Amino acid sequence: MDFPTVCPACARENRAEFTDSSVHALTCAHCGARYCVFLRKHRFEVLFDLGTRASMDGYAREAVASFAAALERFFEFYVWAFTLERAANAEQEFSAALAGLEGTWRHVASQSERQLGMFALAYLLREGREPDFLTARGLGTDFRNRVIHRGTLPTRAEAEAYAALVFALIDRLLTELGPGAAHAELAQEQVFAAHLAGLPDGVTAVFEEHPGMFRARRFGGLAPTLKLQAQPGPPGQGAEQARKPGKAVNDARAYQQALFRQALEERGALLRAFKGPPPGGSGQG
């Protein structure tokens, strides 16, 4: 998958493939100028946007795989944000905290269950309560496993419902993180700074921030328009939910779907405001 970027020398468009580092070394196909694009976008954001594009292009199974990967990478983002925020509050030197975190993460980098355990503990320590959403239903685990591991072919509607669930959960956790997310973003800036320092002469540095769904919702200057009430809590909160245990689930799904649709609209509005080509080519994400 790739995204469009504009050459700083001739202002013509080139395509760049997404990288894990968000650093993209390019040579313009039109004028030959060399430039390096630093994309201020985290992997969970890229993966979610790619999943949205795949869903809208009719590739439901590929979309589910991208959404599932986006959720896993967001849990990693949360752990990094929490750990670095905690270090900052303790007045620990940032580079030392980052080095310790990188060394620790290497022990679990290939083990998703251990990463989930790290996230669960980070959430408990930061919020002071159990991450009660880490259930098979809360994460859509059964559906994900059927698609990813058993080869089930989902419908587009099923893929979009899963996308809505993942989006609502990430959106909630980002809201709870608030300014704390900036600590993980600073870690990305450190990577950029190190690469920038080593750029050879004649290579122009270009910093870009593409308005993915999560950033459009928070930083696009768009007023929230969702008319539904806050997402229902766990069953058992209130007499009506106690009498109708399925009502909370249905309300939660309706909320997730409405939130997801609103986020798509907000991102579209932000892209139109930029009056430029949307990242990803097809305009979805």
Where along the chain do its domains lie? 44-182
Judge whether residue 95 has pLDDT over 70: yes
Looking at residue 218, its pLDDT comes to 60
Residue 95, token pair as written in the block: 């580079």
φ/ψ region of 36 (left if φ > 0, alpha if ψ in -120 to 50, else beta) reads beta
- Model confidence at 122, pLDDT cuts 50, 70, 90, reads very high
Looking at residue 137, its pLDDT comes to 93
Least Cα distance to 20 among 5, 34, 39, 36 occurs for 39
**pLDDT tens digit sequence for 131-162:** 999 999 999 999 999 999 999 999 999 999 99
Instruction: State the average pLDDT for the chain.
Output: 83
- Model confidence at 267, pLDDT cuts 50, 70, 90, reads low
**pLDDT tens digit sequence for 209-256:** 876 667 655 654 433 444 333 343 433 334 344 345 455 556 777 877
Mean pLDDT within 41-69: 94
Least Cα distance to 99 among 89, 84, 86, 121 occurs for 84
